[in-house]
Structure 1
Amino acid sequence: MKIKFAVFLLLQLILISCSSTISTAKKEYTLNNSKELKSNWKIHSKEWVLKNDTLTGNGSLSPWGVLVSKKQLPNNYEIDLKVNMTNSSLFEIMLNLDKGKYIRTYLYQIDQNIVIGDGVYDKKDDSYGKRGGKTLFKKPMKLENNKWYAVKIRVTNNQLYFSVDNKTYLECSLEKSNLNQKGKLGFITNGEVKIIDLTIKSL
């Protein structure tokens, strides 16, 4: 019995290490240390750091600060985090990044909206039209610097739900909106942002 249990645990560890998705056997992923940041994420801007449980990104109008996971998101998932746009007007969560296309879910301080959009991302080109993309859905929300916002994103059965502070939310069908149904996760900022309590859960 003990041997069978040991074999089972070993198989679980192998599956976790070989998994192509950004989740674990416990169906939950959290970012805990800088070594994990370097091994599990592609830091294109080289300006993202993890210190004292806080992920800090620094970008500009050109180039943006970009951080992309090396592993795929699960088919059905939930992402929770708290974000503070300490010195930026844009914080964007890239969903289902695949072959240069992704779903834009972002807080935009200039227009005072939260947004779902259809995005493009060329990691070699910061020029206009090579990053970002069109707005599909938006909802007004007062957004300020130096204030923490609780963000929740849920994708189940190709339905996307995006909320901020459990008050303002948007939702859409990925299929009807012709949006990517699989891919990786990323973050974008055009200034300084801080992220805490990041959790990615497989549903």
Structure 2
Amino acid sequence: MRNQISIVFLLQLLLFSCSGTISTVKKEYTLNTSLKLKSDWRINSKEWILKNDTIIGTGSPSEWGVLESKKKLPKNYEIEFKANMTKESLFEVMLNLEKGNYIRTYLYQIDQNIVIGKGVYDKNSNEYGKRGGKSLFNKPIELQNNKWYSVKIKVQNNQLLFSVDNKTSLECSLENKNLSQTGKLGFITNGEVKIIDLKIKTI
């Protein structure tokens, strides 16, 4: 009996270590080395770097800087980090990116809103209509450059919660809005953004 329990435990460990997701039940994912950035994410080193525990992304209004994870997000997950938009107006978190579709969760300075939307992403094109997409929900928030914001995103039982500084939040049902329910994680900037304390965990 004891041997059977040990075998089951070892199989579970093996499954978690070989998991196709960026985070597992047993382990909270953090990004803290340049080696991890290169091995876990699809990057253009001219757009995204890791410097002194800070992930720095650069892009432009005509050519967005995109960072995309190589592994899928778990079915239910929580993402936390701090972000600082040092240049331009848009910082976006791509959720459940799969087959060119994703959920847009972003901070938008021009409209002074946080937004949930339905996005499309063609990694081979910067043309209008092939990146980004329509907004579904938004809420006013005062946003400015060179200020740190605490971002929390939670997806559980197909319900999405997106909050900034624990005081401005949006919620929606993935099913009701026909939003992508599985896929990878990504980040987009149309200027420069700094990210620290990134944590991704299975819930």
The normalised TM-score by structure 1 is 0.93
Could you list the runs of 5+ residues in structure 2 that have no partner in the other structure? none
Alignment of 1:54-69 (within 5 A): 54-69=54-69
Aligned-pair CA distance for 1:138: 0.3
Alignment of 1:17-56 (within 5 A): 17-44=17-44, 46-56=46-56
Could you tell me whether the CA contact under 8 Å between 1:56 and 1:192 is conserved in 2? yes
Mean CA deviation greater in 158-167 or 4-13: 4-13
Could you tell me whether the CA contact under 8 Å between 2:16 and 2:26 is conserved in 1? no
Could you tell me whether the CA contact under 8 Å between 1:105 and 1:114 is conserved in 2? yes
Determine the structure 2 residue equivalent to 1:78.
78
What's the CA shift string for 1:65-94, capped at 9, x where partnerless? 000000000000000000000112100000
- Secondary structure at the counterpart of residue 96 of structure 1: strand
Determine the structure 2 residue equivalent to 1:138.
138
- Secondary structure at the counterpart of residue 201 of structure 1: strand
Cα distance in 1 between the residues matched to 2:123 and 2:15: 30
Cα distance in 2 between the residues matched to 1:84 and 1:117: 21
Determine the structure 2 residue equivalent to 1:199.
199
User: CA 1:12 to 1:193, structure 2 compared with 1: closer, same or farther past 3 Å?
Assistant: same
What's the CA shift string for 1:46-83, capped at 9, x where partnerless? 41011111000001112100000000000000000000
Aligned-pair CA distance for 1:25: 4.9
- Secondary structure at the counterpart of residue 35 of structure 2: helix
Determine the structure 2 residue equivalent to 1:117.
117
Aligned-pair CA distance for 1:10: 6.4
Residues 1:163 and 2:163 are matched in the alignment? yes
Aligned-pair CA distance for 1:186: 0.2
What's the CA shift string for 1:96-137, capped at 9, x where partnerless? 000000000000001100000000000000000000000000
Cα distance in 1 between the residues matched to 2:168 and 2:23: 27
Could you tell me whether the CA contact under 8 Å between 1:12 and 1:25 is conserved in 2? no
Cα distance in 2 between the residues matched to 1:98 and 1:72: 9
- Secondary structure at the counterpart of residue 24 of structure 1: coil
User: CA 1:45 to 1:180, structure 2 compared with 1: closer, same or farther past 3 Å?
Assistant: farther
Could you list the runs of 5+ residues in structure 1 that have no partner in the other structure? none
Could you tell me whether the CA contact under 8 Å between 1:45 and 1:67 is conserved in 2? no
Mean CA deviation greater in 146-155 or 12-21: 12-21
Cα distance in 1 between the residues matched to 2:9 and 2:88: 45
Cα distance in 2 between the residues matched to 1:36 and 1:163: 27
Aligned-pair CA distance for 1:11: 5.1
What's the CA shift string for 1:129-187, capped at 9, x where partnerless? 00000000000101000000000000000000000001100000000011001100000
What's the CA shift string for 1:11-67, capped at 9, x where partnerless? 566434421001135241111100000000001474101111100000111210000
User: CA 1:59 to 1:181, structure 2 compared with 1: closer, same or farther past 3 Å?
Assistant: same
Output the aligned Cα RMSD: 2.1
Could you tell me whether the CA contact under 8 Å between 1:44 and 1:123 is conserved in 2? no
The normalised TM-score by structure 2 is 0.93
Identity of aligned residues (%): 72
